[in-house]
Amino acid sequence: MDKYPGKTYQEYTGHKRRVLLAIAVITIVLSFTSLMAGSADISILDAAKAIAGTSSRQLNAIVRNIRLPRLATAASVGASLAMCGAVMQNVLRNPLASASTLGVSQGASFGAAVVIAVSGAGSMYLVSAAAFCGGMITTLVILALSKLRDATPSAIVLSGVAISSMFSGATALIQYFADDEVVASIVYWTFGNLGRAGWKEIAVIASSAMASFVFFISRSWDYNAIESGENTARSLGVNTALLIPVSLVFCALISSVSVAFTGCISFIGLIAPHIVRRFTGNDFRFLIPGSALAGAGLLIAADIASRMVIPPVVLPVGALTSFMGAPLFLYLVFRRRRIG
């Protein structure tokens, strides 16, 4: 738990609330920037008019049909992946745990690749359903490994890395034997694309994120207890044998749904919780909502960068998040090695 010597409980919680407020303000500013950024320059006033449907037909179409859905997708997916990372890092007792490092995202990508290879491009919903099944199967494998008697948190994460490598290799083999059109479809899907989801898909992502958030926040005290070790948590009355697998299932749900509709977006779940943890500590009453806000802000920022680096070309957002996440991943690996 966090240590704030000389501070009252009100000061302790007040600091964390101010941190959440600051992250929320930054995310809101990034959201308005996202509506204005792109090959067509739009002022904040024009964006507001377009949302209300009172601007020109062209601006209404750009904002309401393109930029607003991208913004909603980025916010929902970013929040989902960040919450997933925060909870996984807690229940698996490893700061390197996230949907991408445990292979859930890669399993979802493999499921999508199979359907694309068999049915051509296939329908979006069929590909998304296959991606969801691939992510859930990966999680079930991780759950089974976590039940092994000698499976330490580090062993589970290493197993996830192995599973990730296996699915990546299997996806590469599918691409090797497929024709050029199928290969192009698979590669395009795995890049990660926030423009793929419509309002119906956004509603599914947001609904799963909200349901998971309610569960996670209702168990925040239990996650705080787990920070002191599973034995301590059990002594405090936490049913870790049930909480850990149920938490992982919720993580698999939101990460698989996100990947199913947007493709593979890596490292958001790894980056966001660690950024928030530096300011709020490991108090999950604040870490979970803070991670959700930070994850939304980070993915919105990555989307803005993807549209502004080489306009009018829109770069794959999954590639940018990988650039963001890989250095932090290496930092965490070597930092743990120095501490150990």
* Between residues 145 and 19, the one the model is more confident about: 19
Summarised one tens digit per residue, pLDDT across range 272-311 is 998 899 888 889 999 999 999 999 999 999 999 888 888 7
Summarised one tens digit per residue, pLDDT across range 107-119 is 888 888 888 888 7
- Percent of the chain residues topping a pLDDT of 70: 91
Summarised one tens digit per residue, pLDDT across range 32-52 is 999 988 777 788 888 888 888
Vertex 104, ends 326 and 333: CA angle to 5°?
30
Summarised one tens digit per residue, pLDDT across range 128-151 is 788 888 888 888 887 777 777 566
Residue type, 92: L
Q: Torsions phi, psi of 145, nearest 5? A: -65, -35
pLDDT at position 1: 45
Question: Span 9-339: which CATH code?
Answer: 1.10.3470.10
Summarised one tens digit per residue, pLDDT across range 55-94 is 788 888 888 888 999 999 999 999 999 999 999 999 888 8
pLDDT at position 96: 78
* Between residues 336 and 254, the one the model is more confident about: 254
Which of 145-154, 214-223, 249-258 reaches the highest mean pLDDT?
A: 214-223
**DSSP readout, 91-136?**
HTT-TT-STTTTTHHHHHHHHHHHHHHHHTT--HHHHHHHHHHHHH
C-alpha 203: how far from its chain's center?
A: 16
Mean pLDDT of the chain: 84
Could you list the beta-strand ranges (E) of the chain. Answer: none
Q: What is the mean pLDDT of residues 250-256?
A: 86
Residue type, 135: G
pLDDT at position 92: 83
pLDDT at position 120: 67
pLDDT at 157 over 70: yes
pLDDT at 102 over 70: yes
pLDDT grade, residue 216 (50/70/90)?
Answer: very high
